[in-house]
């Protein structure tokens, strides 16, 4: 019964059990919200499909449409030693130069420092009531 119900359908779909790879079954397809509305954009702005480790019922809880979007390790008072990993990266704008940066590292469980290293840009917001200019200043 077990062979008929489990093994044969699996073998038909994936081939020999000894050659099976969990990541072929457990894949992540991360879509940008715009590509859900306009599917043709998907090839340009969706993250690449990735093979995942883990499962929904284990410590590394990630499975197709379920898993950690952010991994954060930090102890109060020791923020400089903190680590962060974000699925998809920090930029949500598909045309930003940093769009998708960090996604591949996130998939491998590699973290980046929590605190920023050196700033390239700063944005100073001045209330309109003070009549201050609004500009992006390069540092």
Question: Is there a contact between 53 and 67 (Cβ–Cβ < 8 Å)?
Answer: no
Q: What residue spans define the domains of the chain?
A: 23-138
pLDDT digits (tens, 9 = 90+) for 45-57: 998 888 877 777 7
Q: How many CB atoms lie within 10 A of CB 8?
A: 11
Q: What is the mean pLDDT of residues 58-79?
A: 79
Nearest to 114 by CA among 138, 85, 134, 90: 85
Give the pLDDT of residue 34: 92
pLDDT band of residue 139 (cuts 50, 70, 90) is low
Structure tokens at 57: 């019922």
Check pLDDT > 70 for residue 138. Answer: no
Model pLDDT for residues 96-129, shown as the tens digit of each residue: 888 888 888 888 878 888 888 888 888 888 887 7
- pTM beyond 0.75: the answer is no
pLDDT band at 9 (very low <50, low <70, confident <90, very high): confident
Task: Report which secondary-structure segment, H or E, holds 42.
Answer: helix 42-45
Short-list 63, 43, 52, CA closest to 107: 52
pLDDT, residue 42, reads 92
Q: Sort 15 into a burial class: Cβ within 10 Å, 0-12 / 13-18 / 19+.
A: exposed
Q: Which helix (H) or strand (E) holds 138?
A: strand 135-138
């Amino acid at each position: 019964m077990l062979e008929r119900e489990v093994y044969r359908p699996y073998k038909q779909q994936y081939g020999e059990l000894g050659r099976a790879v969990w990541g072929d079954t457990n894949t992540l397809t991360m879509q940008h919200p715009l590509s859900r509305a306009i599917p043709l954009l998907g090839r340009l702005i969706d993250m690449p499909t990735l093979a995942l480790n883990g499962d929904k019922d284990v410590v590394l809880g990630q499975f197709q449409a379920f898993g950690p979007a952010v991994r954060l390790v930090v102890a109060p008072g020791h923020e400089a030693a903190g680590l962060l990993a974000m699925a998809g990266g920090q930029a949500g704008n598909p045309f930003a130069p940093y769009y998708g940066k960090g996604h591949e590292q996130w998939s491998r469980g590699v973290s980046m420092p929590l605190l920023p290293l050196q700033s390239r840009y700063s944005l100073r917001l001045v209330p309109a009531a003070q009549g201050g200019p609004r500009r992006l200043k390069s540092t």
